[in-house]
Structure 1
Amino acid sequence: MAMWFITITLTLLFSSLTAAENSDFFEYVSPNSLGLKKEKLLHLHFFLHDVTSGSKPTAVQIAEAQTTNTSSTFFGFLAIADDPLTVGPDPGSKVVGKGQGLYGFSDQNEVALVMLFNLVFTEGKFNGSTLSLLGRNLIFENERELTIVGGSGVFKLARGFADLKKYSLDNKTGNAIVEYNIYVFHY
């Protein structure tokens, strides 16, 4: 009788494991089934204009901590942005998209932002496509790097990095122009 009990118990155990592996909520698919062909590496170059002053700012404060105004690093300041992306550093140069997202001063010891940004492209073959950026941005450093964590449209399954270089920064107004060199793998 003990052998019969063990056999049934093992049969039920293995059948429940098999049922768990044959779940209805996932399946592996080929990239080709989504129309994804060969992965490519693309280089994008443009300038982001972050305007925090004047009558038409592109970035505005949405929150601050009680201690932000006494912090030497602006810790706790949070802003939302809708910054133009242009082919050249001149604000009047051709607009190719927008940098939309949040940034906040997130370090109590040095001036550093945490950035959650979408680059929304409005020109050419990339029109309607986005790249999503995430990372730490030491804004007073001349060069820094953010991670590309995804994308949409042409940039489905994107991954890569963005090299940022300070082009100009007005310490009085906070207005900045940042040069972006993006290297992104996508299908």
Structure 2
Amino acid sequence: MASRFVVLALLISCHALASTNAEETGFVGPLDRKTLGLKRKEKLSHFRFYFHESFTPNNATTVTVVQPLPKYNATTSFGSVGVTDNALTVGPERTSKVVGRVEGVVAATSQSEFNLLVVLNFVLTEGRYNGSSIVVLGRNRLSLKVRELPVIGGTGVFRFATGYAETNTIFLDPKTRSTVEYNVYVSHY
């Protein structure tokens, strides 16, 4: 019984400190859900995108800006960092309708296998999603056929977004180009 009283007293003290601290600092305060665009019911959406990378010097859409460490160059590319800016299409064909762009940073982060840390912004340009973006950040373990990455947020329609993305490589020629599929499952308002 005494331990319950101690826990209750501790919780009340923490709440009182948090309330007092918020008022004293001036930079913490309550939020109005409607002001933040959270007045609508939460939705769950599935987007299927494809992007088409080009690695050739004349029209590269993904480039390495930091070369891998010499020791890992041929095996894992550990240490390499690249940037990407690719068209998002509705189909796997390069001539499919463009619905946005995927822009981001990729880094080879494993010394033992070819894994990438990816930071990707799926910037949409069509319909009600025009100007909104979905942010994916996580470990892309390329040894797996289908990889899962977290959706960590977004902008516009996707403010406060959460979810996950599944990706797989449809086609890859490391010297010229690739086609990558992303299935994004996102909870948003």
TM-score by length of 1: 0.84
Q: Is the 8 A contact 2:135 2:151 kept in 1?
A: yes
Q: Can you list the C-alpha shifts for 1:121-146, whole angstroms capped at 9, x where unaligned? A: 11111111011110111224211011
2:132 alignment partner in structure 1 = 129
Q: 1:161 to 1:48 in 2, by over 3 A?
A: same
2:84 alignment partner in structure 1 = 81
Cα drift, residue 65 of structure 1: 4.3
Stretches (4+) displaced over 6 A: none
Work out the CA distance in 1 between the residues paired with 2:148 and 2:184.
10
Q: Is the 8 A contact 1:132 1:150 kept in 2?
A: yes
Matched, 1:169 2:172: yes
Work out the CA distance in 2 between the residues paired with 1:74 and 1:68.
9
Amino acid aligned to 2:156 = G
User: For structure 1, which segment, 77-86 or 48-57, has the greater mean C-alpha deviation from structure 2 after superposition?
Assistant: 48-57
Alignment equivalent of 2:47, drawn from 35, 44, 48? 44
Q: Is the 8 A contact 1:68 1:77 kept in 2?
A: no
Alignment equivalent of 1:118, drawn from 117, 121, 128? 121
**Structure (1 or 2) with the larger CA radius of gyration:** 1
1:142 alignment partner in structure 2 = 145
Q: 1:141 to 1:150 in 2, by over 3 A?
A: same
Amino acid aligned to 1:181 = N
Identity of aligned residues (%): 38
2:28 alignment partner in structure 1 = 26
Amino acid aligned to 1:49 = H
Work out the CA distance in 1 between the residues paired with 2:130 and 2:158.
11
Q: 1:24 to 1:177 in 2, by over 3 A?
A: same
Backbone CA RMSD of aligned residues? 1.9
TM-score by length of 2: 0.83
Which ranges in structure 1 are unaligned for 5 or more consecutive residues?
1-15
